[in-house]
A and B are shown apart, each in its own frame.
Chain A
């Protein structure tokens, strides 16, 4: 757990004069499960977009495995091994859940890692779907995404990222909109993936669940990093308390 996989240095981003991210720096070690919390509008999703190339920073640098990826295109960053989910689910709506995974399984990254032609794509896709809780022998994996309930689409986001065989997985509020039982069944999956060595950066509003599995938590408020500590101590931090100021309950339900 010593090698640094992601290094963020002095990241800044303004949207039309509104500071979304202010001088944020942090590191993620290989194999770490890092949580990122903060009240609504504190810049969490902007940070994810900056790390994955969907938004270009005004200043600052992002290094992934020692390579400067600042301002690189999202497809380049994905190709290098950073996969992300979207807070607002973005499946390929007119394709089945199964086909949603075939697309990343055809990606250049997977072909490079697994060799150009391999015949078991269908099996890999269905295994991944089963992993995240799709009923393998039912018709659910073959229903078009637009007809699936929200909880399934959230888990499809996760499966789609895993299909890319990432080295760094970024989850943008994966649990939001999931039922209690869905969260309860997804939590062990994330724990297991992390246990297998996958580095995970987890933006989350469900603090109780996050604190149970995270090694370390960073708190953002108005775009600035206000705390960086183990999960057991983060809510003791005065700045974090002030930021959440009674909105903690609401945050957990969101």
Chain B
């Protein structure tokens, strides 16, 4: 029992981290809270499904194409929607949230609401880890989660675009005084965030069905993990995911599975009350406000 909680708690935590990281990445770089994130997440799922079922694409091609297209859509979203309201945080949230709701409800309107919409496992079957059965798909999720963290580390430390991301994130005025284009960087941050959301959707959605309500839940997860960990810190995201992931599995095991959703909401309320910048956040002004 305990072993099962340990293993599934870890898997659940990695799922949360993978779900939230694209949202946090965008916010950490450009300060844009992309509330269309859940919309893009579900769009990615349906896009893969349509490429597989309507156009009979091979799975890997469908995945690669979807990640690319959704990244591009994020990029375009910045220039068409966000540029006009840039710098007004509330308007950015409203504009992106409206876009997200628009995407999700469009699919509902088009009838994408039945149980036939599922994505295939990358690999079927399961293994036993110390007597606990774990399917390959969940192992893939762990692997891809770890690979993404390693990639992000390399990307932000050793590539030109990654370094310009960090420059803009840490001091926008200095960065632009060195010739870094702030709008391009922000648009790219949105593209990367959306592409990571697409990747998360493609590996996580096969565990269940592609449901429109999942889109709203994904946004809630991203916001909860971001608020608990501090929206701009990768290590914060990982630790917040572990806290929330294990709390959820404990809640599901010892209380009732229905209470698992409450964990996010409770975490948001508790953290905002006690430490508004998040456990590892750097924007301390929130605490200093009088």
**A interface with B by C-beta (< 8 Å):** 52, 54, 73-75, 78-79, 83-84, 86, 90-95, 99, 102-104, 106-109, 160, 164
Contact = CB atoms under 8 A, between A and B. Distances in A.
Given A92-B167, A102-B163, A106-B163, A164 B176 contact: no
Contact of A106 (B160, B174, B181): B160
B167 A78 contact: no
A54 to B, nearest CB: 7
Interface in B9-66: none
Contacts of B179: 75, 78-79, 104, 107-109, 164
B177 interface: yes
Interface residues of B, number: 17
B176 A103 contact: no
Provide the main secondary structure of the chain B interface: helix
A94 B181 contact: no
Q: Which of A52, A92, A95, A99 has the most CB of B within 10 A?
A: A92
Contacts of B173: 54, 74, 86, 90
Contacts of A79: 179
A78 B171 contact: no
B178 A78 contact: yes
B180 interface: yes
B182 interface: yes
Contacts, number: 65
Nearest to A89: B174
Contacts of A104: 178-179
Contact of B170 (A73, A93, A109): A93
Contact of A73 (B163, B167, B174, B176): B176
9 contacts: A75-B176, A75-B182, A83-B177, A84-B177, A86-B174, A86-B177, A102-B163, A104-B179, A160-B178
Contacts of B160: 106
A106 to B, nearest CB: 4
B111 to A, nearest CB: 46
A54 B205 CA distance: 46
A92 B176 contact: no
Contacts of B166: 92, 95, 103
B243 interface: no
B211 interface: no
B164 interface: yes
Contacts of B181: 73, 75
Contacts of B174: 86, 90-92, 160
Given A103-B163, A103-B164, A164 B178 contact: yes
B267 interface: no
Contacts of A94: 170
B29 to A, nearest CB: 13
A59 to B, nearest CB: 24
Contacts of B176: 73-75, 78
